[in-house]
Amino acid sequence: MLRILDARTGESVPAAPARRGLTRIEAHACGPDPTALRVLLTADLLVRALELGGTPVWTSLTAPRDQPELRTAGTRLAIRPFEFSRDLASGLGEAQALHVVRRDSAEAVGEGPVVAVAEVEWVPGAGGGPAAGEDGPAALTALLSDPSALRLALLAVPRGEPARLDPATLAEAARGLARWRRAVAGWARRPSRPVPGEVRDRLRAAWEDDLDLPAVLGVLREVESAPGIPDGARFETYAYADRLLALDLVRNLGNPA
């Protein structure tokens, strides 16, 4: 069962106390800026993790301004669409509402557990771009030059810690993602094998423990080179984890070169 740290109380609570009962996730974002996009990404990951556990989820976006720009940026980052109004969920009998907010706004939302997200800072290189530390639309544009690399770079940082991103960080993420996609395409040419039970358990334990995405990525890095795991099982492991990560790891199937 997925458990999250409630920023309002400091306690670990079930994300969906009524198993398979409808849970509402509300993303509260101002923007558009990189931190608002991280709020949307965290909400998206919660949705995916709950659905993998069989819990139906309804999502909404509360943004006092710039909602179209945020939605467009979210789409580029492989974030599923959000509904416009929480009123659409009335009468559906949801079990609980989870609020995803930037960490300095944890007390400004309604009832229900609060998932707090730390800020994102864009630090450009010497080649120019937005001023160091800028976190507005210009920084968002720069970060979205490679959406998949940005998604991976954000997944690699615990959501409660500030994410300080620069061109070198994004380039490293892009290289790692390209390597994984090539590897997955190569493994797909081998006979399929099931995800090893111990690996599946470790993946689920990681993301069900307060949505620990860095730990999930750590398991994948181990599986990439661990001896004794058939290539077909490596492929299935990465495909399984990508149901949560949404990094399009199977994109190069048919073209492993």
Task: Report yes or no on whether pTM surpasses 0.95.
Answer: no
DSSP string, 43-82: HHHHHHHHHHTT--EEEEEE-SS-HHHHHHHHHHTTPPP-
Burial class of 19 by CB neighbour count within 10 A (0 to 12, 13 to 18, 19+): exposed
Does the pLDDT value for residue 254 go beyond 90?
no
Does the pLDDT value for residue 33 go beyond 60?
yes
Check: CB of residue 62 under 8 Å from CB of residue 71. Answer: no
Structure tokens at 127: 């080649």
Of 109, 62, 56, residue with least CA distance to 83: 62
Span 142-170, average pLDDT: 96
* Alpha carbon distance 158, 28 (integer Å): 19
Pinpoint the alpha helices (H) of the chain: 34-52, 67-76, 137-143, 147-155, 167-187, 197-208, 213-225, 231-245
Let me know the angle formed at the C-alpha of 40 by 154 and 106, rounded to the nearest 5 degrees. Answer: 100
Residue 93: its pLDDT value, please?
Answer: 53
Check: CB of residue 77 under 8 Å from CB of residue 151. Answer: yes
- Most confidently modeled range among 92-106, 122-136, 206-220: 206-220
Tens digit of each residue's pLDDT (9 = 90 or more) over 217-240: 999 999 999 999 999 999 999 999
Check: CB of residue 30 under 8 Å from CB of residue 108. Answer: no
Check: CB of residue 29 under 8 Å from CB of residue 137. Answer: no
Residue 62: its pLDDT value, please?
Answer: 85
Of 145, 152, 147, 142, residue with least CA distance to 173: 152
Q: To the nearest whole number, what is the mean pLDDT of the chain?
A: 88
Span 202-228, average pLDDT: 97
Q: How confident is the model at residue 257 (pLDDT cuts 50, 70, 90)?
A: low
Tally of CB atoms within 10 A around 126? 6
Residue 131: its pLDDT value, please?
Answer: 46
Element (H, E) at 25: strand 23-28
Tens digit of each residue's pLDDT (9 = 90 or more) over 55-111: 989 898 887 666 788 888 999 999 998 876 544 444 455 567 899 999 888 776 878
Of 119, 149, 250, residue with least CA distance to 192: 250
Phi, psi torsion values for 218, nearest 5 degrees = -65, -40
